[in-house]
Structures are given as structure tokens and as C-alpha cells.
């Protein structure tokens, strides 16, 4: 007994099965989390090491190269990129596809641990991270209160941060900026000289006096008592009274040579919200948490905290909330889904003329879609932009099988058969065809699910959701649809006495006329096959030519309008954080003067990403929130160009304005050209030439280098012979300079169970120029005093501010933003111009950024297309037991390109990863029409028809279901193609490709396939 016979003869069993599936589908839906994108971990591991106060050259030599040597032998290494700048080393390890990132991270950790002893003692422990979408902050905010800066920081660190960390789903809370309490010991150089002391002696005395030791226990036969030895200084007055030395005139106290005060640490990062000083907070979710739920609960806790601390006017100003765009995108897709269902319902009603029959078909939608949530829950998927878009795109596909089955059942009922017999015979006759067209849909998405790289991570959940729901629709068409038809099926008798009847009769007359006209066209075409083939070939060639002709651009992804912009400011490499802050305040005032701007969130001297955070005093990151795009007359891209022109009027500022990346983080430049070699001066010279070439290409903007120009440095050259005579070593000199100018914070001040840094260095006025370096004092073992200038030469030189290395070669990257043109088209123009540029010996080029991503993604998708075509062919070979008939069906695929590419050109969409996915979807969709014709023609041949007659009759008989399914799919795609809500840019191009391909397939396949 077949599954359809079971459904017809035991209807309650099928009803119970689908009731259970829908019930568990609803339960699974409620358990799914909302996220912007599918969860994935990129094949990247980073190692960040802080070496405070060191120059870029020192960082590269003493830190970066050691780490490169350590990790260069790890298994699965693909690329090794490193950046060294003042105080920070960042090594980024890119792994090959298929490598387990978690295991690679552990191996990197082990390799780095082995070379820790080779790193300078003053370096912080290397921090090893991997990229994950879970690391993207859910909430970013500025915190303000009517309290002193140090008190605000302590309040956040001690009281607010623990409460926010305790919110369900919150993984990490990060403080940005703020002023932490610090005990400052500002040494006076003149007083040191008077007392014949050195900076190192002062720092050593503080460190020796302020200590604690585990002293062990006193043990007797009956008890054991711990010994507590804690010599930590607990008051500032005690620190002032600390004896530094016993001079001939009596003890020298710390207060005699230094100013000791309870103050705030020097700012290394400053945060503003809407131009007001604040302390920044970032909230990240746990890996398995719901981003929307975390945001909701965190906002509720923030409101509670504001009420609790209203006496100090505590206020949390939300600058960015990932859940807003996530929910808006999800709601937009759900709206498109509902609209698609409504339009498909109208189309069904037009063709079936019966509310009853239309409902039979529409039952397939919830019955196929809701159980899909069960599989999504089992496989750990979330409700994100990709999975929801998959559900909206398959609306037309889900009703296909039921349409084909129901239409054939109605045909058997019109032959005079009873409802049950018509249901069984109709499904039996068309079942093989329904199986074929469904499996064709499924197999084109399997290669997508297996695609590697970033594109595979983004599309895997999308393609599997389509597969799950399509297979469910096949089950529905074999069970519920025949069941409903066998119980409630009815042949509609149209009457001219009603408006509804007249409309349907008119529509049927139109279909009959169309069928007859199509029969005549097909008869003519079968007698002029050569012209049909030549015409089809010409159309295909002309459509493909639209791409090289420039009518269709290429890009990794269509730029969208999230109402958010990232503004990056860069001052001269020597600029202090206070100068950068001053300029940032000017920019903030400018931005807030525009009515389109709702929020301005600034980080000065601090930049963060999913791979870690870095600091640089001459940089500022500003996140700009705009009003909803429906409430402004300018796109975010155009607004970015406008404000960039205004900011550039501020002297000495480099500015880059770009929308955030798809993951929500700071967007990298889409055009990146790396110049690599061993000689840095040659690399710099070649880079300047390439930059000039890039600037001449239309569409490029903000063309700049990844490294800054060299900046002034003060060099110290020691006279070893004089040092030997004075009894001083290079280590003594280094420690003295380090303490005097960078500061010594090894000693801690303990109060109320909390420790604060004691920062020992020269007074600000004694470390403001090069002359102060010459005056640094030293004391010999014999008690003689002398200055650095007596045994060392101090000169001003030029040093690198940022050093970049790619695969252990020195490199400089030319970065460029793109405006007004697709990235791929701009990249092609650059590559064309670079062909005539001759590179010096030892210099090589690499194209990175979106150009590399686009190349990799298009290559992966190209393989997926070829594999999908092969699978479609093999599926049909298995079903038809023939190697010839499947080739006939495959001829319908190229003609779909005609409409797909023409649709992209007419709608001014680019060829992106999503439009290519639309073309892959077309492989299955357009093959259905050919399968319907070929399958029915084979049945007619078996019944004794001649080949030509069988083809004409099959074409006419299958015209109605072909029209019905194609129009239903086009109708389901229209709301998505015309959508303008959040996330629309991702799906518009894909929908237009499918609409165009279905249209050209409908017009050309009906003629071409019979001719083949």
C-alpha cells in the first residue's frame, strides 16, 4: 500500500501525524533564538601582545617576529599577517578551510607559551582570540552620572558591571575609557639631584617597602596557625613618609623628592556619547544565548540601575543595539512572507476558480513550513536573516508539488472518476514527476550547504532550511493534498449568472486561447528547429555579454542602508590623545548639527573588533546612528560622502566613512592591495606609485596606506667605555629611562580590599622634551652623581609608527573605499591598469579584502553550480533510467540566464554572492517545467502517439500547471524583490534573478525543450 493510499484510507492517522509535527514545530519555534546572522567561527586566530612604551621597531623585533616564528609551523596555516605599532603587536593567523579553529587556537596557545621567555619582561601576556559572531557586542552605550570621574569608574567597575554580568545570557561586559584611581608619585628631578639620588633608587625603595609574603605556618601538636606578613602601604600619608635613603643629614623621605597624590591614571582611551564625556560599556552575549533576549533583559536591568542610582543622575545612553536591526530585518522578512502567501493565494484562486481547491494547496504552506522548525532546532539553527529569507523564498516552491498533484487529480475527476479514485489515480500518475521536480530542487541546494569559507558559513543554514521545507512539501503533496481532495474535492461548475463565474469563464477562455496559440507556435517551432536553436543561443550570448560590457557590476555583497556609519579619524602619528580628543569634539559638534543624526558614540584612542582591541593616541572611532531611512531624504552612503567632505575641512585630519560590515563591526576597506618584499624603502616607493594608479580609477575614495609615515623619535647611543668607568650598565640606564618616562607601576596600593596602581615617574614638567632625557641622573656605587649626557649621545631620528608583515615579509597595503560603483567592477579596472605596471625584483602584489573574498566566494559558488548541474542530471538519470532524456531537461537551464542577467541589468543590481545563489535556485526551478513536458510526452508515446504529436499534446496539456507553478513562484518572489525594509539589500537581487530567470524560462523552455 502506497503512502497516498494510507492517507486516503486512514485519514485520521495522517491528520494526527501532521498535528504532532505542527505542534512540535510551534514548540521548536519558541525555542529558537534570534540572531542577525548564522553562528559561525571564521578560520582566523589572533595573538595580541602589549609592550607598553615600545616603538614599532622594538615591537616588531622583540615581540612580533618571535611570535611569527612560534606559530609558523602550526598545522593548517594558510596566511600569517602581522602588524606592529607603538606598544602593541597583532599577529593574525589565517587557517586553511576545514581546519578546526578550536584545536588550532589551542595549538597556537601552546606554541606561544613555549616562547614566552624570549619576550621582554615588560610585555603583557599574549592574548589569543578567535573570530566568532558571538563576540560582536549586543549593546554599546555611554554611562554618565553626577560624580567625579574616578568615582564613576569605581561605581561601574565595582557595582554596575557585576549586576550586568549577572543578566541571563550576558557573556562579557567591557569598560571603555574612564579614569581609574591611581596613586601618583611625581619625582622632582632637581630634588633628586640635591639629595644625590636616582629615579631607579626611588622606584626600588617603594617596591621593596610595599610588599607581602606568604610566611608559612606555626605548627604545634594540636594546632596550626598561619603567619600573615603584609607590608602593603594602605594610606597615602604612609607612602609620603616612606624613607628612601639614610643620608648624612638624616633620612630622606619620599615627600622630600616627589609629589605623592591620590589621583587618576593618565587617560589612554576616552569615550563620548553625543558629545558628552562618558564611560563606555560593551555587552557581549554567551555563545548559545539569544541576542534579542539578552538585549531585552539587559535594557530592563539598566532601567533598574538608573532608578537605584537616580540620586547621582545615573544614565545609560544606548549607542548601538544589535537586536534592533536583527528584529527589524526578521520582521521585514516575516512581512514579505505573509505578503507572498497572500499573493500566491490569489494566484491559486485565479487558476483553480475555487476557494476550496485553493485552501487544499495553501495547506501545504503551514504543513511544510512549521515542521521545518523542528529540524532547525535539532541542528542548532537560529531565526536569522538567512533562515527567515530561506522561508520567504520557498513560498512558491512549497505549493508547487501540491499544485501539480491537485491539478492532475482535478483532470481525473473531469474524466468522470469519483473523488477517491481520482485522488489515487491522479497522484499515482503524476507522483513520479512530483518526486523528480522536488529532488531537483533539493540537490541544487546540497552543494551550497557543503560550500567552504565565509560564503559557506553564511549560506549553510539558508540552503538546509530550503531542503528541509521542500522535502516536507513533497510529503504533504503525497498525503494531505490527496486526502483533502478525496474527501472535499469538487468540480467547479462555472456559471455566467454571477460576476465570479463570468470572471473565471473569461480567464479560462484566455487560457484556452493561449493553449491553442501555443500549440500553433510549437508546431511551427518543431519544423524550424535550427532557427530556434540559433535564436536561443544568440539570446544567451547577449545576456552573458551584459557582464563584461559593464551593464552588470560585480561585488561581494550589495551595500545596504542600516542607518549606521563608522567614522574613523586619524591625526599625525605624534598627536597626543588630548589633541585627538579636541579634534573629535569638533567632529561631534558637526555631526550633531545634522537632523538626520540621532546618536554619536565616540572612542578616542581605542579600537575594538572580534579579534581584540588596540589603542593608539592618534585614532578615533565614531559610530553614527541615523534616523530611519523612511524619515530621511538621503541614503546613508550619500550622507557619508557629505559628512566626509565637511570633516576634511578640519586641518590635519584623515577621515574614512563607511557603513558597518555585515557582522556589525567596523568595516574594512573593500579594496586592499598588499605590496610585499624585503626592502621597506622599495616597498614604500612602489606603494606610492600604485596608490596613484588606484586614485585614477573611477569610484575609488579615501585611498591611503595601512601604515603611517615615519615619525620623530629620540635615539640614545651609549658610550660603553665611559659607562664602564662610571660603573653603570645598560640595564641600569634602561630601567632609569623606563621609570622616568614610561612609569613604574609594579607596586600596588591596597585599600578596602582593592588594589590600585602606584605610578612612579618623573613629574610632567621634567619629561616634556629631549633636554630632560639628557638630564636624567645616576648615582655610582661610590656615591658620585652624573647625568645621561655624560656617557650617551641623544639625537632626534625618524622611526616607523606602524609596521606590517604578510607571510613574514614586510608589506604595505593600499586601502580604498568604493562609492557609486560595484566593488568588483572597480577591482577589475585596477587589475587592468596594474597589468602595465612593472614591479621591481623582489616585490609582489596580493589583492585582499572584498576582492579576495569575492574571488573565493565566486569560485566556491561556481563549483557549487557545476556540482548542482551534475546532481540534477544524475537524479534524472536515476529516475528515468535514461542518459538521454535528462540532457533534454538540462537545455532549459541556460535560457534561464537570459532573464536572470537581464533582470539584474534593468534593476541596476550587481552580481553578488546572493544573486549567484538565486541562479543556483533557478537550476531546480526551471528544470521543473522541462520535466513536466518530457515526462508527459513519454506517457503519450507509450500510449501510441507519434513523437511530434506527443510533444505538441504534452506541451498543451502541461501548459496550465506550468503557468500555475511559475506564476505562483513569481508572485511569491515579488514582495521580496520590491522590499525596502531592513535587510532588503541582501534579498532583492536574488529575488529579481529568480523572477527574471523564471520568466525567460517560461517563454523559451516551452519552445526549446520540445525542439531538443
Number of H helices, E strands in the chain: 36, 32
| pLDDT score recorded for residue 610 | 44
Q: Tell me the residue length of the chain.
A: 1012
Q: What angle do CA 272, 278, 282 make, to 5 degrees?
A: 85
Predicted confidence band at 27 (pLDDT cuts at 50, 70, 90)? very high
CA 111, distance to chain mean position in Å, is: 29
Residue from 377, 421, 387, 402 nearest 474 by CA = 402
Helix (H) or strand (E) holding 758: strand 754-762
Helix (H) or strand (E) holding 281: strand 276-285
Predicted confidence band at 301 (pLDDT cuts at 50, 70, 90)? very high
The dihedral over CA atoms of 159, 162, 163, 164, expressed in degrees to the nearest 10, equals: 120
| Cell numbers describing residue 213 | 609574603
| pLDDT score recorded for residue 158 | 86
Model pLDDT for residues 57-71, shown as the tens digit of each residue: 888 888 999 999 888
Q: d(Cα 370, Cα 467) in Å, to the nearest integer? A: 14
* Side-chain-side CA neighbours of residue 466 (13 Å): 31
Q: What percent of the chain stands above pLDDT 90?
A: 3
| pLDDT score recorded for residue 20 | 93
Q: Tell me the mean pLDDT in the region 360-377.
A: 86
Residue from 382, 410, 388, 244 nearest 329 by CA = 388
Q: d(Cα 428, Cα 408) in Å, to the nearest integer? A: 10
Residue 250 gets which letter from DSSP? E
Model pLDDT for residues 426-474, shown as the tens digit of each residue: 778 777 777 777 888 788 888 877 776 667 777 888 888 888 888 888 8
User: By three-state DSSP, how is residue 129 classified?
Assistant: strand
Model pLDDT for residues 83-128, shown as the tens digit of each residue: 888 888 889 888 887 788 888 888 989 999 888 888 888 788 888 8
Residues 37, 39, 42, 45, CA torsion sign:
positive
Residue 828 gets which letter from DSSP? H
- Name residues whose C-beta falls within 8 Å of residue 199's C-beta, 6 or more positions apart in sequence: 187, 192, 736, 739, 740, 762, 776, 777
Model pLDDT for residues 224-281, shown as the tens digit of each residue: 887 877 777 878 888 888 888 876 677 888 888 888 888 888 777 888 888 888 888 8
231 close to 217: Cβ distance less than 8 angstroms: no
Q: Is 321 left (phi over 0), alpha (psi -120 to 50) or beta?
A: beta
Q: Tell me the mean pLDDT in the region 706-717.
A: 78
Model pLDDT for residues 627-677, shown as the tens digit of each residue: 877 788 888 878 888 888 888 888 888 888 877 765 555 556 788 888 898
872 close to 892: Cβ distance less than 8 angstroms: no
Q: d(Cα 515, Cα 34) in Å, to the nearest integer? A: 48
| pLDDT score recorded for residue 611 | 46
Is residue 947 over pLDDT 60? yes
| Cell numbers describing residue 493 | 461548475
Could you tell me where the DSSP H helices lie in 701-780? 720-726, 730-737, 770-774
Q: Tell me the mean pLDDT in the region 888-913.
A: 82
959 close to 518: Cβ distance less than 8 angstroms: yes
Q: d(Cα 915, Cα 864) in Å, to the nearest integer? A: 14
Predicted confidence band at 374 (pLDDT cuts at 50, 70, 90)? very high
In DSSP notation, 489-546 reads: -------TTSHHHHHHHHHHHHHHHHHHHHHHHHHHHHH-HHHHHHHHHHHHHHHHHT
Provide long-range contacts, Cβ within 8 A and 24+ apart, for 941-944.
none
Is residue 78 over pLDDT 80? yes
Q: Tell me the mean pLDDT in the region 148-177.
A: 86
279 close to 153: Cβ distance less than 8 angstroms: yes
Q: d(Cα 55, Cα 799) in Å, to the nearest integer? A: 8
Q: d(Cα 111, Cα 106) in Å, to the nearest integer? A: 9
Is residue 865 over pLDDT 70? yes
160 close to 316: Cβ distance less than 8 angstroms: no
Could you tell me where the DSSP H helices lie in 353-452? 355-362, 364-369, 372-378, 385-393, 395-414, 419-449
Model pLDDT for residues 535-566, shown as the tens digit of each residue: 888 888 888 888 777 778 777 766 666 778 88
Q: How many Å is the maximal CA-CA distance in the chain?
A: 127
| Cell numbers describing residue 699 | 569610484
- E-state strands within 692-801: 700-705, 711-718, 748-751, 754-762, 777-779, 785-787, 792-799
Model pLDDT for residues 807-840, shown as the tens digit of each residue: 888 888 888 888 777 787 888 888 888 888 888 8
Residue from 83, 135, 146 nearest 282 by CA = 135
3 close to 478: Cβ distance less than 8 angstroms: yes
Amino acid at each position: 500500500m502506497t503512502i497516498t493510499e494510507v492517507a486516503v484510507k486512514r485519514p485520521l492517522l495522517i491528520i494526527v501525524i501532521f498535528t504532532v509535527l505542527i505542534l512540535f514545530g510551534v514548540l521548536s519555534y519558541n525555542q529558537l533564538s534570534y540572531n542577525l546572522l548564522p553562528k559561525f567561527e571564521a578560520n582566523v586566530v589572533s595573538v595580541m601582545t602589549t609592550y607598553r612604551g615600545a616603538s614599532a621597531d622594538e615591537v616588531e623585533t622583540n615581540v612580533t617576529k618571535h611570535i611569527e616564528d612560534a606559530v609558523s609551523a602550526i598545522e593548517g596555516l594558510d596566511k600569517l599577517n602581522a602588524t606592529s605599532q607603538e606598544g602593541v603587536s597583532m599577529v593574525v593567523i589565517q587557517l586553511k578551510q576545514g581546519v578546526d579553529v578550536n584545536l588550532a587556537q589551542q595549538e597556537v596557545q601552546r606554541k606561544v607559551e613555549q616562547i614566552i621567555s624570549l619576550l621582554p619582561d615588560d610585555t603583557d601576556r599574549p592574548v589569543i582570540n578567535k573570530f566568532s559572531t558571538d563576540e560582536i557586542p549586543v549593546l554599546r552605550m555611554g554611562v554618565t552620572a553626577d560624580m567625579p570621574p574616578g568615582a564613576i569608574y569605581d561605581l561601574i567597575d565595582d557595582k554596575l558591571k557585576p549586576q550586568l554580568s549577572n543578566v541571563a545570557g550576558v557573556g562579557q561586559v567591557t569598560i571603555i575609557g574612564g579614569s581609574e584611581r591611581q596613586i601618583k608619585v611625581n619625582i622632582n628631578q632637581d630634588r633628586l639631584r640635591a639629595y644625590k639620588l636616582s629615579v631607579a633608587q626611588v622606584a626600588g625603595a617603594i617596591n621593596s617597602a610595599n610588599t607581602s609574603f606568604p610566611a608559612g605556618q606555626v605548627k604545634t601538636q594540636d594546632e596550626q596557625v598561619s603567619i600573615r606578613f603584609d607590608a602593603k602601604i594602605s594610606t597615602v600619608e604612609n607612602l609620603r613618609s616612606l624613607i628612601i635613603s639614610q643620608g648624612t643629614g638624616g633620612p630622606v623621605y619620599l615627600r622630600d623628592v616627589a609629589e605623592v597624590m591620590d589621583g587618576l591614571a593618565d587617560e589612554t582611551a576616552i569615550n563620548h556619547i553625543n558629545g558628552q564625556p562618558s564611560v563606555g560599556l560593551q555587552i557581549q552575549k554567551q555563545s548559545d544565548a539569544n541576542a534579542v533576549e539578552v538585549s531585552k533583559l539587559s535594557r530592563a536591568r539598566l532601567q533598574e540601575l538608573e532608578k537605584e542610582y537616580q540620586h547621582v543622575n545615573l544614565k545609560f545612553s544606548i549607542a548601538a543595539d544589535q537586536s534592533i536591526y536583527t528584529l527589524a530585518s526578521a520582521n521585514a522578512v516575516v512581512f514579505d512572507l505573509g505578503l507572498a502567501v497572500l499573493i500566491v493565494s490569489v494566484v491559486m484562486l485565479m487558476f483553480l476558480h475555487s476557494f476550496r481547491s485553493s485552501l487544499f494547496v495553501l495547506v501545504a504552506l503551514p504543513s511544510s513550513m512549521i515542521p521545518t522548525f523542528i529540524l532547525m532546532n535539532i541542528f542548532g539553527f537560529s531565526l536569522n536573516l538567512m533562515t527567515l529569507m530561506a522561508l520567504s523564498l520557498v513560498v512558491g516552491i512549497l505549493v508547487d508539488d501540491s499544485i501539480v498533484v491537485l491539478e492532475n487529480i482535478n483532470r481525473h475527476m473531469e474524466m468522470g472518476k469519483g473523488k477517491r479514485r481520482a485522488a489515487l489515480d491522479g497522484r499515482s500518475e503524476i507522483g513520479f514527476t512530483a518526486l523528480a521536480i522536488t529532488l531537483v530542487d533539493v540537490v541544487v541546494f546540497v552543494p551550497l550547504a557543503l560550500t567552504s569559507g565565509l560564503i559557506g558559513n553564511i549560506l549553510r543554514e539558508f540552503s538546509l532550511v530550503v531542503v528541509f521545507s521542500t522535502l516536507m512539501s513533497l510529503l504533504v503533496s503525497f498525503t494531505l493534498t490527496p486526502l483533502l481532495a478525496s474527501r472535499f474535492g469538487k468540480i467547479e461548475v462555472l456559471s455566467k449568472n454571477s460576476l465570479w463565474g463570468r470572471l473565471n469563464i473569461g480567464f479560462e477562455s484566455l487560457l484556452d486561447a493561449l493553449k491553442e496559440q501555443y500549440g500553433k507556435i510549437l508546431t511551427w517551432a518543431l519544423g524550424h528547429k535550427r532557427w530556434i536553436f540559433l535564436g536561443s543561443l544568440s539570446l544567451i550570448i547577449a545576456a552573458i555579454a551584459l557582464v563584461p560590457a559593464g551593464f552588470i557590476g560585480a561585488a561581494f555583497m550589495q551595500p545596504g542602508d542600516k542607518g549606521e556609519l563608522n567614522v574613523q579619524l586619524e591625526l599625525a602619528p605624534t598627536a597626543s590623545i588630548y589633541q585627538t580628543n579636541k579634534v573629535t569634539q569638533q567632529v561631534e559638534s558637526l555631526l550633531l548639527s545634522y537632523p538626520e543624526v540621532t546618536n554619536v558614540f565616540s572612542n578616542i584612542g581605542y579600537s575594538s573588533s572580534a579579534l581584540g582591541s588596540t589603542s593608539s593616541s592618534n585614532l578615533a572611532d565614531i559610530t553614527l546612528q541615523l534616523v530611519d531611512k523612511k524619515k530621511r531624504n538621503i541614503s546613508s552612503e550619500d550622507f557619508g560622502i557629505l559628512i566626509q567632505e565637511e570633516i576634511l575641512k578640519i586641518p590635519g585630519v584623515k577621515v574614512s566613512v563607511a557603513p558597518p560590515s555585515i557582522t556589525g563591526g567596523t568595516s574594512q576597506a573593500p579594496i586592499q592591495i598588499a605590496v610585499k618584499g624585503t626592502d621597506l624603502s622599495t616597498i614604500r616607493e612602489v606603494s606610492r606609485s600604485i596608490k596613484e594608479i588606484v586614485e585614477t580609477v573611477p569610484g575609488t575614495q579615501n585611498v591611503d596606506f595601512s601604515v603611517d609615515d615615519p615619525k620623530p623619535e629620540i635615539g640614545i647611543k651609549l658610550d660603553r667605555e665611559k659607562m664602564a668607568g662610571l660603573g653603570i650598565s645598560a640595564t641600569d640606564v634602561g630601567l632609569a629611562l623606563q621609570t622616568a618616562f614610561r612609569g613604574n607601576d609594579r607596586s600596588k596600593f591596597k585599600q578596602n580590599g582593592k588594589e590600585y596602581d602606584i605610578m612612579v615617574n618623573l613629574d610632567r614638567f621634567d619629561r616634556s622634551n629631549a633636554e630632560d632625557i639628557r638630564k636624567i641622573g645616576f648615582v655610582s656605587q661610590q656615591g658620585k652623581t652624573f647625568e645621561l649626557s655624560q656617557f650617551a649621545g641623544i639625537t632626534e631620528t625618524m622611526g616607523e609608527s606602524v609596521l606590517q608583515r604578510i607571510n613574514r615579509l614586510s608589506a604595505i597595503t593600499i586601502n580604498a573605499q568604493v562609492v557609486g560603483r560595484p566593488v568588483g567592477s572597480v577591482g577589475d579596472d585596477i587589475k587592468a591598469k596594474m597589468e602595465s605596471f612593472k614591479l621591481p625584483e623582489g616585490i609582489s602584489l596580493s589583492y585582499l579584502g572584498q576582492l579576495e573574498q569575492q574571488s573565493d566566494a565566486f569560485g566556491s559558488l561556481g563549483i557549487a553550480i557545476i556540482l548542482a548541474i551534475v546532481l540534477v542530471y544524475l537524479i534524472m538519470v536515476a529516475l528515468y533510467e535514461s542518459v538521454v532524456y535528462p540532457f533534454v531537461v538540462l537545455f532549459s537551464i541556460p535560457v534561464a540566464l537570459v532573464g536572470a542577467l537581464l533582470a539584474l541589468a534593468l534593476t541596476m543590481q550587481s552580481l553578488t554572492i546572493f544573486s549567484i545563489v538565486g541562479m543556483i535556485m533557478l537550476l531546480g526551478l526551471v528544470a521543473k517545467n522541462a520535466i513536466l513536458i518530457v515526462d508527459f510526452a513519454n506517457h503519450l508515446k507509450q500510449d501510441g502517439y507519434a513523437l511530434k504529436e506527443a510533444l505538441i499534446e504534452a506541451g498543451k496539456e502541461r501548459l496550465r500547471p506550468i503557468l500555475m507553478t511559475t506564476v505562483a513562484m513569481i508572485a511569491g518572489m515579488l514582495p521580496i524583490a520590491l522590499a525596502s525594509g531592513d535587510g532588503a539589500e541582501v534579498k532583492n537581487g536574488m529575488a529579481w534573478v529568480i523572477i527574471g530567470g523564471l520568466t525567460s524560462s517560461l517563454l523559451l523552455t516551452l519552445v526549446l525543450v520540445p525542439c531538443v
